[in-house]
């Protein structure tokens, strides 16, 4: 298992510049195969960008996924959708609110909606209905439920 941080935009101070790689480039470097599972979460840091920038980035990733499937059609790809998030101050309300996240969720669904090769983890309603306070990183029990959904999808293959 490997974790890769996506390319810019990034809003944290713990990612080393040498570790920043764009998702499309990473997908192009993957060999792929029947035993490879790619999971993507493509929304949180993009709330500070324009919707057109976000859509362009998603389309670039979609093209890279098509190239990956040309090389290795058995590669499993799962995308985790957006979840609700907390609003710890005015700045979050201005550039990172649920309103932005919800619109990114709709753009994400639109770009990938007709591709049956992609598994989609819809967690928006899960975080909306759950009793935990809205936070960008939900509590462990919630993450365990999302992982169980992921395993249900990938283990049937």
Please tell me the distance from the alpha carbon of residue 105 to that of residue 124, in angstroms, as a whole number: 8
Q: Could you give the C-alpha distances from 110 to 22, 66, 153, in angstroms and in order? A: 21, 16, 21
Please tell me the distance from the alpha carbon of residue 9 to that of residue 100, in angstroms, as a whole number: 15
Amino acid 157: pLDDT:
57
Q: Which residue has the higher pLDDT, 85 or 31?
A: 31
Q: Where are the beta strands (DSSP E) in 8-121?
A: 37-41, 76-80, 118-121
CB 96 within 8 A of CB 47: yes
Please tell me the distance from the alpha carbon of residue 126 to that of residue 84, in angstroms, as a whole number: 9
Using alpha carbons, select from 111, 84, 121, 113 the residue that is nearest to residue 100.
84
Question: Model-level pTM?
Answer: 0.84
Amino acid 35: pLDDT:
94
Amino acid 48: pLDDT:
78
């Amino acid at each position: 298992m490997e974790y890769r941080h996506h390319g810019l935009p990034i809003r944290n101070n713990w990612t080393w510049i040498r570790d920043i790689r764009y998702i499309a480039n990473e997908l192009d470097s993957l060999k792929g195969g029947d035993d490879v599972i790619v999971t993507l979460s493509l929304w949180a840091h993009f709330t500070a960008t324009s919707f057109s920038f976000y859509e362009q980035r998603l389309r670039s990733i979609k093209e890279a996924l098509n190239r990956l499937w040309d090389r290795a059609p058995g590669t499993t790809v799962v995308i985790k959708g957006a979840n609700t998030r907390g609003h710890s101050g005015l700045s979050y309300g201005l550039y990172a609110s649920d309103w932005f996240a919800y619109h990114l969720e709709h753009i994400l669904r639109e770009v990938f909606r007709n591709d049956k090769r992609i598994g989609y983890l819809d967690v928006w309603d899960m975080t909306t209905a759950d009793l935990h306070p809205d936070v960008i990183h939900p509590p462990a029990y919630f993450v365990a439920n999302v992982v169980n959904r992921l395993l249900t999808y990938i283990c049937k293959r």
